[in-house]
Amino acid sequence: MCSDLRSWPVFSSLEPEFISQIHMVMIFGKLHKRALIVTRDKMVYVLDLYNCLETGNKISTPYLKEIEDLRGKDIKTFAYGMGPHILALTNGGEVYSCDNVDCQLENGICKFTLMKMSTIKNNQNMMRVVDIACGCYHSIILTENDEVYAWGSNNSGQMNNSIYGLSTTPKLVLSNVVCISCGNDFTIAVTRNGKVYGWGRNNVGQLGIGNHGNKNATQQTLIKVTCGFEHTLALTDKGNIYAWGGNMSGQLGIGNQTECCKPIMVKQIEKMRWIDITALNNSSIAVTEAGRVYIWGVDCHGKSIVTPTIASSSNISDMLVHYGPNVMQKSMILDEEPNILECLRIAFDNSSTSDLKIQVEGKYIHVHKAFLKIRSLHFRNMFEHDWTENNQSVVKINTFSYIVYKAYLKYLYTNIVDLPFKNISELFDLANAYFENNLKKQCIRIIKQGITVSDVAYFYSIAVKYNIKELEEFCVQLAVGHMTTVVETENFAKLDQNLMKTFIIKASKAGCFKN
């Protein structure tokens, strides 16, 4: 995920040989100068630049010490709460806890204790834990049978009950859960049927229930939630992001800095499908299906960004270096080697490795002839038969626009369509001409996601032109409830008479003129 740990100040003093052996890290604590490190041989270390060691010549050096309690424990992830406390989860489902971390490190120790969760049993066997999360003064675990347990402070309802005070024993809070995340003093969970629940402090609408009472919330079909200090991001199964809670820095991405106590969709510059989200303290990061990373909320200069803004980094881990608080709620796993899909993504339009240039509108796109032959019937025919382009180092394209042709070539390398919605119909034309059936299917899916009443007549004409019955029926059904608006659009006026008549007849049969 993150190729260069030296980008993070806390790791800058480590030797390159040691860095090369790191498998997982989590930054935490005062001034972002502390980290937990797991090496590939399952050794666990704590790195402390805040309390450096004093050497004989009075020059301080980083404090790097093995955590013997976690030696060989096969750590899956860590979770950090600013209380401060840390949880460690093993791949075997055990949870280790380290309380009052700052005080321990100031005394040169860092002790982790295996949690004796005697209340969490199934048929007298200890239940395996599959995920962990920490608020400031409370902790959450998710078990393999989809149950959520909580312990710690309950001053704001973090235990999801009305008993004020501190609980040292994990208490069952919710069942049928698949995803958990903690904010400062609240928790959000997603159930197996896609519903979202929240409990804890709700002074700025963190729970998304439409008011500021400390209780639980439901609705919205979600696949992932992630919490910042006082706000929540939620990713739906349709690729939309909803946000709620505190918004002092614009972290909700709704175009203003007003808090919101119920879910509201994050603003989009154009039609896009989100696939991943991360909420930081007062910032938000998300990734689109096309692989673009966006940031909103407070940035690295303290400036507030109120709508999603495209970032220069290509993944969330790199974004955390520049935009994040440099403190992680969860650990980050480093890729040992880039996989083949990542290598192909990097190779696209890379002049240092390409052996062929595609020229469109005077601009070059760098590609690889052998790869194009494998991925595209059009290019296979071009390079295996007596085409003029077969012996050229530059292939000129005059039939499609640069932005569309580059999107097509990128699709061949990544299987991702990265193109503004307004250009999708031209990409479909290309896919049809080049016999790219899978690309045609992706275009149809994107059209169905982004189509509106104003352009439904246009896409109906596209569906008829290419005999796409699925899209044709979709357009008719969309128009049924909005026929008056549809017939007043410019795109409807551009239909030829026969097509217009057919469209109206089909809409009528679908029930648009029924009382």
Question: Rounded distance, CA 275 to CA 290, Å?
Answer: 9
Residue 15 predicted with pLDDT over 90: no
Q: What is the pLDDT of residue 482?
A: 85
- The parent domain of residue 263 ranges over 205-328
Residue 1 banded pLDDT, cuts 50, 70, 90: very low
Q: pLDDT averaged over the chain?
A: 85
Question: Rounded distance, CA 107 to CA 179, Å?
Answer: 36
Q: What is the mean pLDDT of residues 35-40?
A: 93
Question: Rounded distance, CA 214 to CA 202, Å?
Answer: 5
138-142, 163-167, 426-430: least confident range:
163-167
Residue with tokens 């549809």: 486
Residue 273 banded pLDDT, cuts 50, 70, 90: confident
- Is the domain of 356 the same as that of 477? yes
Residue with tokens 């093995």: 66
Q: Is the dihedral of CA 410, 415, 416, 420 positive or negative?
A: positive
> Which has the closest alpha carbon to 474: 503, 494, 498?
503
- Is the domain of 237 the same as that of 303? yes
The SS3 call for residue 418 is coil
Distances in Å between the alpha carbon of 88 and those of 38, 76, 313? 11, 8, 29
In single-letter form, the type of residue at position 340 comes to I
Contact (Cβ atoms closer than 8 angstroms) between residue 357 and residue 366: yes
Q: Tokens in use for 140?
A: 């959450």
Element spanning 445, H or E: helix 437-450
Sheet of 95-99: strands edge to edge?
A: 75-81, 85-90, 95-99, 113-114
Q: Which residues pair with 190 in a beta bridge?
A: 179, 196
End of a domain among 298, 328, 358? 328
CB atoms within 10 A of CB 31: 11
Question: Rounded distance, CA 339 to CA 404, Å?
Answer: 27
Q: What is the mean pLDDT of residues 249-271?
A: 90
Q: Is 354 domain-assigned?
A: yes
Q: Is 453 domain-assigned?
A: yes
- Is the domain of 392 the same as that of 497? yes
Element spanning 446, H or E: helix 437-450
Q: Is 390 domain-assigned?
A: yes
Question: Rounded distance, CA 444 to CA 474, Å?
Answer: 10
- Is the domain of 258 the same as that of 303? yes
> Which has the closest alpha carbon to 53: 67, 45, 37, 65?
65
- Domain count for the chain: 2
- Is the domain of 322 the same as that of 352? no
End of a domain among 303, 328, 353? 328
Residue 56 predicted with pLDDT over 80: no
Q: What is the pLDDT of residue 245?
A: 94
Contact (Cβ atoms closer than 8 angstroms) between residue 460 and residue 502: no
Q: Which residues pair with 152 in a beta bridge?
A: 138, 167
Q: Is the dihedral of CA 444, 448, 449, 451 positive or negative?
A: positive
Residue with tokens 């280790």: 96
- Is the domain of 278 the same as that of 354? no
Q: Is 132 domain-assigned?
A: no
22 contact partners, CB below 8 Å, separation of at least 6 = 5, 37, 38, 39, 40, 334
- Is the domain of 289 the same as that of 375? no
Contact (Cβ atoms closer than 8 angstroms) between residue 248 and residue 216: no
Q: What is the mean pLDDT of residues 366-394?
A: 86
Q: What is the pLDDT of residue 196?
A: 87
- Residue 297: phi, psi to the nearest 5? 100, -155
- Is the domain of 439 the same as that of 308? no
* Predicted TM-score of the model (pTM): 0.70
40-49, 213-222, 479-488: least confident range:
213-222
- Is the domain of 347 the same as that of 314? no
Q: What is the pLDDT of residue 218?
A: 44
388 contact partners, CB below 8 Å, separation of at least 6 = none
Read off the pLDDT of residues 303-317 as tens digits, 9 standing for 90 and up: 899 999 988 766 676
Question: Rounded distance, CA 400 to CA 363, Å?
Answer: 13
Read off the pLDDT of residues 460-474 as tens digits, 9 standing for 90 and up: 999 999 999 999 999
Q: Is 135 domain-assigned?
A: no
Contact (Cβ atoms closer than 8 angstroms) between residue 87 and residue 134: yes
Distances in Å between the alpha carbon of 23 and those of 6, 41, 150, 314, 496? 14, 9, 29, 20, 62
| Residue 510 burial (C-beta neighbours within 10 Å; 0-12, 13-18, 19+) | middle
- Is the domain of 274 the same as that of 380? no
End of a domain among 299, 328, 357? 328
Q: Is 182 domain-assigned?
A: no
- Is the domain of 318 the same as that of 448? no
Residue 52 banded pLDDT, cuts 50, 70, 90: low
- Is the domain of 361 the same as that of 497? yes
Residue 459 predicted with pLDDT over 60: yes
Q: Is 492 domain-assigned?
A: yes
Read off the pLDDT of residues 319-344 as tens digits, 9 standing for 90 and up: 666 555 545 667 888 765 667 877 88
1-10, 91-100, 429-438: least confident range:
1-10
Read off the pLDDT of residues 143-156 as tens digits, 9 standing for 90 and up: 999 999 999 998 88
Question: Rounded distance, CA 424 to CA 440, Å?
Answer: 10
Residue 251 predicted with pLDDT over 90: yes
- Alpha helices by DSSP H, listed for 16-82, are 16-19
Question: Rounded distance, CA 378 to CA 361, Å?
Answer: 20
Question: Rounded distance, CA 407 to CA 290, Å?
Answer: 10
Residue with tokens 């246009």: 458
- Residue 150: phi, psi to the nearest 5? -135, 150
Question: Rounded distance, CA 258 to CA 235, Å?
Answer: 21
Question: Rounded distance, CA 274 to CA 283, Å?
Answer: 17
Q: Is 212 domain-assigned?
A: yes
Question: Rounded distance, CA 402 to CA 379, Å?
Answer: 17
CB atoms within 10 A of CB 466: 15
CATH number of the domain enclosing 468: 3.30.710.10
DSSP state of 34: E
